[in-house]
């Protein structure tokens, strides 16, 4: 099933071309032509949200206020989607599928982003519905535990518990694709790792939109190449250390590696990675892609210019997000042995044939 929108060409450029977007991963797909809406959203965020996040206190009351704001987000029912609440081994979530019946065997297990302290099924509903419509399959969106009720270790437990439970009830356990954005991308790669460690059926594919791949992404002394300065549009790098103390307080233990970046040896599934040119998480995304490629894992890497971190969650606002989700949906269908009903191409995209490497 495809959407009645022509995504083959994004709106034309209206600003001078800057230097070409560089990549460190061989054959990375470069999306170098952001839409006017994406540019405006990025500039507005830099001027408003980022300054606020630099000074807002980080404590339990702040987390509660942010979550309360999600209740006031206008909800426009999508008549093309049916949904119901689910329970996956004690982890709550929502199951979505096309109203006129699924046309694909793919099942997507999705983990929303939000820094482990905000986000929900509601905040990411539009993008999840888009993935359902684009794949024609079923999507299960997971409400894993957030701060302050639980740590990152608890969220990892919820993620692998939900995956194990899904394996028991889905018709095709070999056709589950796991995906997530930002913090949800962290959980996605942890599921890939822990499925191997626990000798479970591995996911058919893994999708990470601006995935968090370590709990110290702000550090610059790591063995990764940085070809663009870190000028994240709304994530203040200076606040990460404070968040890390809450993510993993003393006594909390994450099963396996604390950083998925170190777990490439345990990843068996094909991986689809998306990163933004100057976001804080990009260097580790590219390093992860290189590590996986070196181990023979199929990796598809997309780098986007002029977008916000985890911009796919803004699918109702920017056409670039719709295109990124379409490309991810095509990947998901290929992972389960199905061809996309209609291949969509970004006319401005280029492939970088570079010899990728880690910094020595």
Query: Got the DSSP string for 44-62?
Result: HHHHTHHHHHHHS--SHHH
Decide if 73 contacts 106 (C-beta within 8 A).
no
**315, 321 Cβ separation under 8 angstroms:** yes
What backbone phi and psi angles, to 5 degrees, belong to 20?
-60, 145
Boundaries of domain holding 52: 28-72+79-352
Long-range contacts of 78-87 (CB under 8 A, 24+ apart): 78/129, 80/129, 80/133, 81/129, 81/132, 81/133, 86/140
**Cα–Cα dist 137/332, whole Å:** 10
Query: In angstroms, rounded to a whole number, what is the distance separating the alpha carbons of residues 92 and 41?
Result: 32
pLDDT value, residue 41: 80
**151 in a structural domain:** yes
- Given a cut of 50, the residues of the chain with pLDDT beneath it are 1-17, 353-360
Cα-Cα-Cα-Cα dihedral sign, residues 355, 212, 66, 75 = positive
The two three-digit tokens of residue 101, written as one number: 């019946």
Residue 15 lies in a domain: no
Q: Do the domain assignments include residue 5? A: no
Distance from C-alpha of 209 to C-alpha of 334, rounded to nearest angstrom: 18
Residue 243 is predicted with a pLDDT of 74
Q: Is the pTM of this model over 0.75?
A: yes
In a domain, 328, yes or no: yes
pLDDT, tens digit (0-9, with 9 covering 90-100), for 222-259: 666 665 555 665 566 666 777 787 888 888 999 999 99
Total count of domains within the chain: 1
Which residues share a beta bridge with 92? 87
Whether residue 10 is contained in a domain is answered as no
What per-residue confidence (pLDDT) applies to 217?
79
CATH number of the domain enclosing 244: 3.40.50.1820
- The tokens of 105 are what? 């065997």
- Between 319-335 and 36-47, two packed helices, what is the crossing angle to 10 degrees? 110
Q: Answer yes or no: is 12 within a domain.
A: no
Nearby residues of 110 by Cβ (< 8 Å), 6 or more positions away: 124, 128, 131, 139, 140, 141, 142, 178, 179, 180, 184
Residue 86 placed within a domain: yes
- Residue 55 within a domain: yes
* Cα–Cα distance measured from residue 28 to residue 285, given in angstroms and rounded to the nearest whole number: 12
């Amino acid at each position: 099933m495809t959407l009645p929108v022509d995504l083959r060409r994004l709106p034309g450029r209206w600003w001078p071309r800057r230097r070409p977007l560089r990549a460190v991963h061989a054959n990375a797909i470069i999306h170098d032509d952001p839409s006017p809406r994406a540019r405006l959203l990025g500039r507005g965020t830099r001027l408003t949200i980022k300054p606020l996040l630099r000074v807002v206190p980080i404590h339990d009351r702040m987390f509660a206020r942010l979550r309360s704001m999600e209740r006031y987000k206008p909800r426009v029912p999508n008549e093309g989607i049916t949904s119901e609440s689910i329970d996956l081994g004690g982890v709550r979530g929502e199951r979505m599928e096309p109203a006129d019946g699924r046309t694909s065997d793919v099942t997507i297990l999705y983990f929303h982003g939000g820094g482990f302290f905000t986000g929900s099924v509601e905040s990411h509903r539009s993008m999840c519905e888009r993935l359902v419509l684009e794949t024609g399959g079923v999507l299960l969106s997971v409400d894993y535990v957030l701060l302050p009720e639980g740590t990152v270790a608890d969220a990892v437990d919820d993620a692998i518990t939900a995956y194990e439970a899904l394996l028991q009830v889905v018709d095709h356990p070999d056709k589950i694709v796991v995906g997530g954005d930002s913090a949800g991308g962290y959980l996605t790669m942890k599921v890939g790792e822990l499925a191997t460690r626990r000798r479970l059926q591995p996911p058919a594919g893994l999708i990470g939109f601006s995935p968090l791949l370590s709990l110290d992404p702000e550090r610059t002394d790591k063995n990764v190449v940085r070809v663009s300065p870190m000028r994240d549009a709304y994530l203040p790098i200076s606040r990460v250390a404070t968040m890390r103390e809450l993510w993993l307080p003393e006594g909390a233990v994450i099963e396996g590696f604390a950083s998925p970046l170190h777990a490439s040896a345990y990843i068996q599934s094909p991986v689809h990675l998306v990163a933004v040119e100057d976001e804080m998480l990009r260097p580790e995304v590219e390093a992860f892609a290189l590590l996986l490629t070196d181990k023979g894992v199929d990796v598809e890497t997309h780098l986007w210019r002029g977008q916000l971190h985890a911009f796919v969650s803004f699918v109702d606002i920017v056409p670039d997000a719709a295109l990124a989700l379409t490309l991810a949906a095509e990947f998901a269908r290929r992972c389960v042995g199905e061809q996309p009903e209609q291949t969509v191409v970004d006319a401005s995209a280029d492939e970088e044939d570079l010899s990728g490497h880690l910094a020595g």
